[in-house]
Amino acid sequence: MTDKITPPIAKKIPHNMTHHGHTRTDNYYWMRDDERQDAQVLEHLEKENQYVQQHMSAHQVLHNALFEEMKGRIVKDDSSVPVKDGQYWYVSDVQGDDEYASHYRATNELLSDKTLLLNINELAQGYEYYDVGEMTISPNENLLAYSEDIDGRRIYTIRFKDLCTNTYLDDVLENTEGQLVWSNDNKTVFYVKKDAQTLLGFQVYRHVLGTPQSDDTLVYEEQDRQFYMELGKSRDESEIYIYLAATETSDILALDADAPMGEFKRLLPRTEGHEFGIEKLAGEYYILSNHDAKNFRLLKACEKTIGDRLQWQELIAHREHILIEGMELFDSHFVITEREMGQIRFVVHNYQGESYQLGFDDACFFAGIGYNPERTASHVRIHYSSLTTPSSVYDCDLTTGRKTLRKQQQVLGDFDSNKYASERVFVNARDGEQVPVSLVYRKDTFHKDGTNPLMQYGYGAYGITIDPSFSSTTLSLLDRGFVYAIAHIRGSEMLGRNWYEQGKKANKQNTFNDFVDVTRALTEQGYAHKDKVFASGGSAGGLLMGAVVNQAPELYLGVGIHVPFLDVLTTMLDESIPLTTNEYDEWGNPNQQAAYQSILNYSPYDNLAAQAYPNILVTTGLHDSQVQYWEPMKWVAKLRALKTDDNLLLFKTDMEAGHGGASGRFKSLQDKALEMAFFIALLSS
């Protein structure tokens, strides 16, 4: 019987840490192994996996049924909508039980002469985990570069293929971020190299094809480890960019793409607190800037004035309740992505000052600008979905706004969007703020009488907004009577930049309060039974889950916590851990006493207590480079020693995966099926 299964109990080795006169004792600090080879650590993780398997074996039929349901909704033979880039049309497709896509190109949209570029299934053979980070074609369209990660650590190797001869070049670039930018000479490329300890990309190298990587030239090194680094190219392909981004500050360096042996130079002086993005077209720069504009404004400059903000020309002024999220430039128009009261819209402008809005009709939805490589195009490609509408691809005419549906995701089985309904509601938080919530349910099983089970999801960090989009896997919950809710809590930018700032650093507690207040409101308003509430979150959303189960454990029957950031204080005090220094502007720098105390007040690991907790399923990946495996490992061990209930605490580690979980379109469904089986089984126990 499952109640006789004994959970793994970890040994305790006290490790004291003192900062600002305050001492914490961590009995499980020994679980950290940067090399991931410690026999005791690996043995304990395997015991935890066996414990999960023993407990869930009683629900294997349910687990298998859920997996087959989710897999059965996926079209086995599927292809993308072709996109034109240069002389060719590019497309990808998947066939049968293939886990990965194959990539092709053709000289016409009908793809009558398509040729294979890469078969990812062949590349992935022999690997438990495989991910292609980026594919990029040389300007003359004869060479392909792609990056691959074979263990989930997001450390990519870049390889090159000659598309004329269908052979690989000898050039191999190791220990990279996975990005590569071609100069216009078709033989010189730039890439970002990682710090071996922190895994932070901090150096840009220049490589000339045909030479060994050891001869590559370091062209830029970022000294401030708070900055992330990316590469890009201007819309008119005249400049190569080094993008530098800290949480609250941006910086961009530029190089003439026709002169790759030149020197990268800053476009404008780095100013703390100034966040901006730039695109260049026809000799003019278009700048989204937060200077004197919390929600950003759009400005324009030429090559002579780009370095002086005082000379920039304002095109779209700052508006208090409208957040500008992005822009896409075309020769005839430019498209601005805006968000008002949490909802996305697109505004199409011509260069003569006229504009119109592109809208959609769903109560709550997600829409985003797709891949639009051709600046001469007469249409903009947009991706759209809602909680009840499968992912759709539209081409929207830039002059008329007329939308043409190019493809909608096919959902196999008995799916009918008319069976489901979505709502957008606002919940009163305890401090008077109104928190947006997106809801979806099946019409014939929802009664709004407090009888339905509820699955509530949240994230709430980095200004990342989790928009309400379609998920075919969620149908397995909806068809069993669940209400699914996304709580758009503070820490996101759902309601603008201020919404984000109210959920970071010293204001972080607002994120947790919002999530709890949404749960209470939804049960009080009849959306769910108070004893049938589940919650789930991953990464920074895993931190959210860890804080919530400490602060309001009585509200939840079961909680899914995935690749979670749980030991916030210890991690943020250790600059050797990947991402730590980049995160100071998000969580605070605990080397400063006020930030130390603020983090200590909510850090999930430090606030575990001798109290009853919900049933909890924790998952992670051994090779996670974003949140190290030992954070959830330690948290589970400490929670086992403290909790006063008999509820389930399960901890599963994918010994091959990283932060993104399993690779492949079917394998990743196993983890989703596990969580759903865990939740559904609790309803009948």
pLDDT tens-digit series, residues 383-410? 999 999 999 999 999 999 999 999 999 9
Query: pTM score, two decimals?
Result: 0.90
Q: Confirm if 265 and 250 have CB atoms less than 8 A apart.
A: no
What is the mean predicted confidence (pLDDT) over 230-237? 96
Q: Confirm if 381 and 370 have CB atoms less than 8 A apart.
A: yes
Q: Active site residue: 386, 476, 539, 668, which one?
A: 539
Name the pLDDT band for 301 (thresholds 50, 70, 90): very high
Going by C-alpha positions, the residue among 474, 494, 462, 456 that lies closest to residue 626 is 462
- The 10s digit of each residue's pLDDT in 36-70 is 999 999 999 999 999 999 999 999 999 999 999 99
Q: Confirm if 366 and 422 have CB atoms less than 8 A apart.
A: no
Q: What is the pLDDT of residue 497?
A: 93
Residue 11 scores a pLDDT above 70? yes
Residue 239 scores a pLDDT above 80? yes
Secondary structure letter of residue 29 according to DSSP: G
Residue 625's φ and ψ, nearest 5 degrees, are -100, -10
For the CA atoms of 312, 315, 318, 323, the dihedral, rounded to the nearest 10 degrees, stands at -120
- The 10s digit of each residue's pLDDT in 517-527 is 999 999 999 99
Q: E-strand spans in 489-648? A: 533-538, 558-562, 615-621
Going by C-alpha positions, the residue among 581, 194, 197, 143 that lies closest to residue 205 is 194
Name the pLDDT band for 664 (thresholds 50, 70, 90): low
624 labelled catalytic: yes
What is the mean predicted confidence (pLDDT) over 248-256? 96
What is the mean predicted confidence (pLDDT) over 440-444? 98
CB half-sphere exposure, 203, CA atoms < 13 A: 15
Residue 666 scores a pLDDT above 70? yes
What is the mean predicted confidence (pLDDT) over 459-488? 96
Q: Active site residue: 395, 624, 654, 671, which one?
A: 624
- The 10s digit of each residue's pLDDT in 361-375 is 777 899 999 999 999
Q: What is the pLDDT of residue 506?
A: 96
Name the pLDDT band for 1 (thresholds 50, 70, 90): very low
Q: What is the pLDDT of residue 2?
A: 43
Min mean pLDDT across 491-495, 579-583, 643-647 is at: 579-583
422 labelled catalytic: no
Q: What is the pLDDT of residue 4?
A: 67
Q: Please report, for residues 8, 291, 318, 625, the alpha-carbon distance to residue 30 in angstroms, rounded to integers and kept in the order given.
A: 16, 46, 51, 19
For the CA atoms of 20, 26, 29, 31, the dihedral, rounded to the nearest 10 degrees, stands at -150
